[in-house]
């Protein structure tokens, strides 16, 4: 049966302007970092993507090496796009990135023009797209001139293979430099994708100010601190969780000292009539410089839980002060 999107999908979603551009993004964007690779259940990922669009999420975020294995998230997205979303292409914002390890040898990593443009061509082929809406430099390269990396992004836009250029994981000073180079090339930097959560606050030490001054949007990733800011770790580290595994980004030594804070934050969330995850996402969006929050989801139910945070976005001064005191303890 052919997929038909929910006719009322735009009624309840909030859309925010991305910096000083003409583009608006859904306040919630869906990232395909986890749960959409070759090791995952294809139909589960397909259901999540359909449900996201049915609820007004228009932005799907990928990268060349999302999987595992590398490239498989884009391949799966390409299959789902062909089956379900092709008629809705002009209603979607699809992004991808290059900058981390992708293929062997000296040309499959970091920020050279050769790597970025070759990677974009491969990404488009995997997804079956003529263009992506946003193409990111996934991280700064300490050995490649910034002019070369930004020049590659500008070239991708001029070639029509991307509509906008973005950067990810760049510190404040490099962000300002990158923005100037892109502006001089006639391709303004649209958006920055940094890691930001209640437990990861570095963007507040200058980056958000630079984004505001330069008119660049902001879309934080890992807003739930790899699951730490959910009810999963309220009573310790459950068997089978990310922190219980020897691989991945969330380590047991990060979880154990934070459990007390997580429990106190959960109490406040309950008082607000929210889950901890919902409160953590709303907390990110309280800053008007944040365009959209980038979530992951392993199920339709989890996606629904995250989207529902839009029902309670406001914080009182007392609540914000309490959150700060909990995080500083």
pLDDT digits (tens, 9 = 90+) for 167-217: 999 999 999 999 999 999 999 999 999 999 999 999 999 999 999 999 999
Mean pLDDT for the stretch of residues 47-72: 98
- What are the backbone angles phi and psi of residue 294, rounded to the nearest 5°? -95, 115
> Domain holding 107: CATH number?
3.20.20.100
Tokens encoding 318? 């007392």
* Res 122 pLDDT > 90: yes
- Mean pLDDT (the chain, rounded): 95
Q: Which residue has the higher pLDDT, 235 or 20?
A: 20
User: Tokens 């997580």 belong to which residue?
Assistant: 262
**Residue 66 within any structural domain of the chain:** yes
What is the reported pLDDT for 233? 78
**Residue 252 within any structural domain of the chain:** no
What is the reported pLDDT for 255? 75
* Res 58 pLDDT > 90: yes
- Which residues 6+ apart lie within 8 Å of 9 measured at CB? 53, 54, 55, 56
**Residue 4 within any structural domain of the chain:** no
Beta carbons of 235 and 281 less than 8 angstroms apart: no
- Strand ranges (E), 45-193: 59-61, 93-98, 132-137, 162-168, 189-193
What is the reported pLDDT for 235? 73
Mean pLDDT for the stretch of residues 305-315: 97
CB atoms within 10 A of CB 39: 10
**What's the number of domains the chain is made of?**
1
* Res 127 pLDDT > 60: yes
* Res 241 pLDDT > 60: no
Q: What 3-state class would DSSP assign to 164?
A: strand
- Which residues 6+ apart lie within 8 Å of 193 measured at CB? 61, 97, 136, 166, 167, 168, 169, 218, 219, 220, 221, 294
Tokens encoding 304? 């629904």
**What radius of gyration, in Å, describes the C-alpha atoms of the chain?**
19
**Residue 74 within any structural domain of the chain:** yes
Tokens encoding 308? 């529902």
Mean pLDDT for the stretch of residues 155-174: 98
What is the reported pLDDT for 248? 55
**Residue 58 within any structural domain of the chain:** yes
* Res 243 pLDDT > 90: no
Beta carbons of 131 and 161 less than 8 angstroms apart: yes
- Which residues 6+ apart lie within 8 Å of 301 measured at CB? none
pLDDT-derived band at 246, boundaries 50, 70, 90: very low
Percent of the chain with pLDDT over 70: 95
**Residue 267 within any structural domain of the chain:** no
**Residue 38 within any structural domain of the chain:** yes
pTM of the model: 0.95
Mean pLDDT for the stretch of residues 14-37: 98
Mean pLDDT for the stretch of residues 42-55: 98
pLDDT-derived band at 247, boundaries 50, 70, 90: very low
CA 287, CA 208: separation in Å to the nearest integer? 9
**Residue 261 within any structural domain of the chain:** no
Q: Kindly list the distances between the CA atom of residue 225 and the CA atoms of 245, 251, 253, 262, 299, in Å, as whole numbers in the listed order.
A: 16, 11, 14, 11, 18
Domain that holds residue 203: 15-233+276-313
Beta carbons of 104 and 69 less than 8 angstroms apart: no
Tokens encoding 201? 């606050």
- Strand ranges (E), 278-327: 293-295
Terminal CA-to-CA distance of the chain, rounded, Å? 54
- Helix or strand (DSSP H, E) at 180: helix 172-184
């Amino acid at each position: 049966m052919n997929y038909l999107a929910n006719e009322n999908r735009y009624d309840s979603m909030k859309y925010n302007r991305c910096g000083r551009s003409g583009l608006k993004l859904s306040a919630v964007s869906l990232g395909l970092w986890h749960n959409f690779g070759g090791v995952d259940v294809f139909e589960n990922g397909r259901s999540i993507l359909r449900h996201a669009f049915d609820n007004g999420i228009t932005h799907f975020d990928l990268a060349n090496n999302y999987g595992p294995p590398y490239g498989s998230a884009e391949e799966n997205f390409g299959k789902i796009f062909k089956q379900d979303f092709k008629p809705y292409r002009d209603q979607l914002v699809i992004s991808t990135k290059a900058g981390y390890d992708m293929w062997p040898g000296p040309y499959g990593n970091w920020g050279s023009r050769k790597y970025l443009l070759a990677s974009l061509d491969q990404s488009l082929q995997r997804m079956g797209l003529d263009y992506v809406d946003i193409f990111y430099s996934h991280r700064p390269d300490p050995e490649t001139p910034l002019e070369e990396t930004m020049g590659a992004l500008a070239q991708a836009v001029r070639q029509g293979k991307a509509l906008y250029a973005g950067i990810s994981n760049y510190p404040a000073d490099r962000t300002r430099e990158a923005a100037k180079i892109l502006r001089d090339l006639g391709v303004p930097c649209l958006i920055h994708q940094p890691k930001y959560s209640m437990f990861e606050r570095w963007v507040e030490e200058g980056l958000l100010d630079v984004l505001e001054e330069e008119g660049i949007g902001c879309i934080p990733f890992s807003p739930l601190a790899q699951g730490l800011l959910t009810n999963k770790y309220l009573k310790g580290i459950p068997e089978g969780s990310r922190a219980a595994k020897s691989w991945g980004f969330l380590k047991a030594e990060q979880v154990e000292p934070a459990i007390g804070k997580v429990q106190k934050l959960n109490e406040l969330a309950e008082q607000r009539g929210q889950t901890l995850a919902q409160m953590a996402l709303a907390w990110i969006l309280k800053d008007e410089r944040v365009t959209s929050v980038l979530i992951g989801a392993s199920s339709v139910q989890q996606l629904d839980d995250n989207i529902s945070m839009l029902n309670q976005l406001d914080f009182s001064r007392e609540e914000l002060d309490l959150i700060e005191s909990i995080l500083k303890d």
